[in-house]
Structure 1
Amino acid sequence: MAAASCLLTEDQFMCSICLDLFTDPVATPCGHNFCKDCITTHWDINVFCQCPLCKETFYTRPELRVNTLISQMAAQFRRSAQQEASSNTSRLPCTGLDDISCDICVGNKLKAMKSCLVCMASYCETHLEPHFTVTGLKKHQLINPVKNLQSRMCMKHDKQLELFCKTDQMCVCMLCMVLDHKAHDVIPLKKEYEEKKAELGKTEAEIQQMIQRKRLKIQEIKHSVQRSNEAADKEKEDGVQVFNALREFVERSQAKLIETIEEKQRPIQKQGESLIIELEQEISMLMKRSAKLEQVSHSEDHLHLIQSFPFLNAVPPTKDWTEVSICPPTYVGTWMTAVKLSSKSPS
């Protein structure tokens, strides 16, 4: 008998009307079981007494009696589930300021693992289990835990915001569509989420291309500065050789040469460093925007993505660097100028 009871599952003692364990279970003449209150209410609101499962019609309302055996077994399953929940000490407590607590827990609330957009409640791991095992709950939409689920309800009709009005660019409920947006272009929220997500993906790709172009510009500027440095070094080297041959005033001419060249090079160096700093600042700004776009694009939170879309979809304004370049000065003939200046200087 004990081995046979192990084969029984909670689903076998669940009412197909309320989707919960039987309370005062009764059997219809066709052999199906329901909670007494559930089947009585069902028949009260329908013209015919019909089985909700097999649709057999009873022209005379059956007299229902509670099946005590099934009632006892359902109660046993209920007690076992409660004991398992109360003895489960391995779950995470809700302690952090940003943690979202389970709406079902009593006393010390546990940390919620998911939020249900159909039930409008957040559940810890234990209380979330029915959403994976109960047939009627498996179709509910689960997302990562979010605060203030009521903000996802229509304030006017107290219905879930599950549609998007493209005409008015706002989230609406089913009643809004029928009453206030009848002639508007209304689509499911998920479809608008996919469209917005695709647009954000394009924006992110465009930003990545901008980052790449600016990095290439940095390399171009660095290369220009390097060529300018090389040209300056070469001119200094040539000038030193000339002034070494002049022996009597070589040191004074050499110093004047170096000073003249470095005065020409200094603005180029500063200009290059300034442009690089400006480009790196723009890259930093774009990378932050890219990271935010990636975070929102991978979010399962439809509403959050749509609400963030107007602020994230626009590409941040940056400077047009197409015509920006470094123009190194010419150093040809600098040593001659230095010689003339040195020759005019008092010895």
Structure 2
Amino acid sequence: MSSASSLLSEDQFLCSICLDVFTHPVTIPCGHNFCKNCITQHWNTHVQNDCPLCQKVFNTRPELYINTFISEMADQFRQSAVKKSSSCSEQQWANTGDVLCEVCTETKLKAVKSCLVCLTSYCETHLEPHQRISGLKRHKLIDPVKNLEDRMCKKHDRPLELFCKTDQMCVCQFCTESDHKSHVYGPVIEEYEEKKAELKKTGAEIQQMIQKRRLKIQQIKESVKLSNEEADRETADSVQVFTALIKSVKRSLAQLIEMIEEKQKRTEKQAEGFIKELEDEISELMKRSAEVKKLSHTEDHLKFLQSSSSLSPAPPTKDWTELRPQKVGVFVDYEEGVVSFYDVDAATHIYSFTDCEFTDKLHPFFCPRNNNGGRNSAPLIISPVSHTD
């Protein structure tokens, strides 16, 4: 039947009177087919018992019998049309991200509520028993969501209505009396709103950090440019001095120029290394910013809380330059991948870079920046530190 219907057109199973798929199709003596009700009403409203298609007139009204073959084919086409319509409807709702009613059997309607007890989403029509029957009125209804099973506690089979601040996870009421007893927790919706606000603030801080690092890169490039210009002037001055004192100068001009060029190369290489580190930081910050932006559009409370809890800790809120320490201690743990900065005079920790991956020799780079009219004229002194076990 299935293979046969695929070779036939739906037009072959339409009643010429109602122009719809046959309902209880009958064949009259001339061989034409009509819905039983359609041909009966036609004869009831006409003087003659004629065929609506070929106009053949019958002396007496023919007795009508259901054409079983056409009836079966018509039913199959009708069911196929319903399934197609339902599938298109479901696809349409799926494309918009809406939740569909799980009770609708034909065309799926948009759900208006989801029941955490029944683990089912209902349209307005099928939700009616929950608003009328006393037992169902006690069920917990929420805005329609997908994957209701994920909103239930796997251990207690209860709704995840609370958020444990201690363990940073969603829990049910029974969890607060067992595994999470004495922990700090609150309603999921309140935690959701709070984390939304934190996430917005974090996104703004990340953008500020990106801008600061881009500014530092620009300052490094300007510093290298000024250093090279100064080296060029030094070379020109050295040529003049060498010309005037050529007999008394022990170091040749070529060696002097080579020394200055080597100094330029070291400065540029160190700057390139530091710029690469800053660019890598910017890349990581931009990735984190994208994660924050994507997460901030999530309206599913549980999904949001689970995802936001897995984000890495927020970056430091204080800029190093705001602290203005007079003596800074720098400590590197190559094996552990940690670089820490301390205020030596105050004996306080400033900040540590963790989870670094060192694969080659490390080179420090120190930049006191420009003189700035004498405001930054104090010398930068590098002091060694003796190790004590």
Question: Normalising by the residue count of structure 2, what TM-score does the alignment of the two structures yield?
Answer: 0.45
Q: TM-score, normalised by structure 1?
A: 0.49
Q: Give the structure, 1 or 2, with the largest relative contact order (CA under 8 Å, sep 6 or more).
A: 1
Q: Higher helix fraction: Structure 1 or Structure 2?
A: 1
